[in-house]
Structure 1
Amino acid sequence: MERISLSNGAFEGNNNAYLFAGGEDVVLVDTGDWMPATREQLEAEFDDRGVSFSDVDRIFLTHWHQDHTGLAGEIQAESGAEVYAHEADAPLIEGDEETWEAMRDTQETYFEEWGMPEAKQVELRERIVRNDEPIELPSVTPFEDGDTFTVNGTELTAVHTSGHAAGLCLFEFERDGNREILSGDALLPVYTPNVGGADVRVDRPLERYLRALQSIVDADYDRAWPGHRDPIDDPAARAAHIIHHHEERSYRVLDALDRLGPCDTWTVSDDLFGDLESIHILHGPGESYAHLEHLERDGTVVREGTEYRLADGVAEELAALEDERWELEF
């Protein structure tokens, strides 16, 4: 397996595609974005390795986001490769209009529920349209959690890790006695994957993502090959760090409600992240909503219409916790 780094102007850093070409089959995991510059990079990397798009037998996609799937259709058109994705994401990757329309409707509903200002809604819609340009779409073979695929003698096992996307999967495999994963955007080395906004189809997004992270901690893999940037040498430690990050963010959400009083999701997002632009207009309130919804289920927060407030007694608990922190610091 070889990692191929492909340019990406987004904050997550360069995308990774993973090439298995050391045997009878040529297999690619994720493809990078659809942009012409990305295609040129991937073609050049293939050429350096003595293969071409027409040689590709199978493509496995970690999830539906376009920076991971953008070239799947073009490669399939040239090679006839079979394209695989989890059953929850396959319709989006294929461009099923009914599925896309349902997601857009859900987004619009959330824009109102979250209290997103109209001007920000307009800006976000323009950003989404720019990211929705026509591309060659693949036909997709869906798979399920636990399905296993043999790639040149290596077994890849799909592990469903919903949260960031409804069909997000990582792929387990063994190499040189080590247990490794292709983690897609389930585990990244620098940024924490967005939950709540990146895929509004996901029910209880934070709960699901925390469960996925805990499964990575429990599995104690030897290495992770993420969807962006460099390999992760201690996946369990990185997953545990992200769990702690979300614990801290939940505290910040509670602190915001304590200081601001009852307020909507957009107000909490503004307190956490400040002014937002581009796709972050979706991601900021989406992440805030994921935490508010999680805290509501926990009984720590109460929702009344589109506003949230602290449950009875929580303000006192926060004050006691703050006193304890102050004592520890001094």
Structure 2
Amino acid sequence: MDLVEVVPGLHLLRLGFVNAYLWHDEDGATLVDTGLSGTGPAVGAALDELGLRGHDLRRIVLTHSHPDHSGSAAELAAWSGAPVLAGRADAAVVRGEDPGPPPVVTAAEQDLYAVASADVRPAPAVPVVQALDDGDVLDLAGGAVVLGVPGHTPGSIALHLPRHGVLLTGDTIAGSRSEDGGPVVLGPFNTDRTAAWASLQRLAALDVEVACFGHGRPVTGSASSVLRAATDPFG
């Protein structure tokens, strides 16, 4: 696990090939995504490194239901007592009531999908205490606006922290893996590629300095212009 400060109050947790994010201030902490099943101890270590304990975790927000992002939600919720929040259309999947639609894998994505899904176990079911809708505002970072961004999954969400110029996109957009930065792209493995592209365009229209992705490195300056130049290389 790598722990990297993105902006004051926001840390990136690199959990293998998946990113989670931790916002923390005097009112407590919010974890955005949890990594694969079994990464709970790494998240606990990140909290320890920041001087936080389980009771400091006020909520766990899932950007979508895929098991590489929701896999440790049940473990962390049981350990900390933090409620789990997810997009309304993904809530039944997180609760284990619905398998959810499979991704429509394009020909260009097939090899990548085979590698990415090889060791991914199903996420243990966990109650969703709050189903989130577009326009909801969460009490963190001076007001975090929930944006419904369907396409990667039906209930995918992003979080906009307007007071800080920060956007957390989930898997709607994928960042570069290069240390030198690089272009960002439409995230692969979507259930509805047309809807996902429309969601990317909605996010790109925001005025943000920092963009944080479910995979790849954050963009920490002039993020809006980078998002507006995003492409779809897997289509």
Same topology, TM > 0.5: yes
1:240 maps to amino acid: R
Contact 1:56 1:79 in 2 (8 A): yes
Residues 68 and 158 of structure 1, relative CA distance in 2, 3 Å threshold: same
The higher radius of gyration belongs to: 1
Aligned identity (percent) is 25
1:5 is matched with: 13
Q: In 2, distance between residues paired with 1:20 and 1:239?
A: 22
2:23 is matched with: 20
1:103 maps to amino acid: P
Contact 1:189 1:226 in 2 (8 A): yes
Contact 1:31 1:68 in 2 (8 A): yes
Residues 220 and 2 of structure 1, relative CA distance in 2, 3 Å threshold: closer
Contact 2:37 2:72 in 1 (8 A): yes
Q: In 2, distance between residues paired with 1:78 and 1:5?
A: 18
Q: In 2, distance between residues paired with 1:15 and 1:4?
A: 10
Q: In 1, distance between residues paired with 2:28 and 2:223?
A: 28
2:56 maps to amino acid: D
Q: In 2, distance between residues paired with 1:189 and 1:103?
A: 24
1:41 maps to amino acid: A
1:273 is matched with: none
2:154 corresponds to 1:166 = yes
Q: In 2, distance between residues paired with 1:228 and 1:2?
A: 16
2:209 corresponds to 1:211 = no
**4+ long deviations beyond 4 Å:** none
2:24 maps to amino acid: A
Greater percentage in helix: 1
Figure out how many residues of one structure are paired with residues of the other and give that number. 212
Stretches of structure 2 lacking an aligned partner (at least 5 in a row): 1-8, 177-183
2:195 maps to amino acid: R
Q: In 1, distance between residues paired with 2:15 and 2:201?
A: 30
Greater percentage in strand: 2
Contact 2:146 2:159 in 1 (8 A): yes
Contact 1:33 1:66 in 2 (8 A): yes
Length-normalised TM-score, structure 2: 0.77
For residues 150-199 of structure 1, what are the alpha-carbon distances to aligned partners after superposition, in whole Å with 9 as ceiling and x for unaligned? 12x52011111112221111111134xx422111112222263445x443
Contact 1:188 1:228 in 2 (8 A): yes
Stretches of structure 1 lacking an aligned partner (at least 5 in a row): 9-13, 200-204, 250-286, 292-330
Contact 1:6 1:42 in 2 (8 A): no
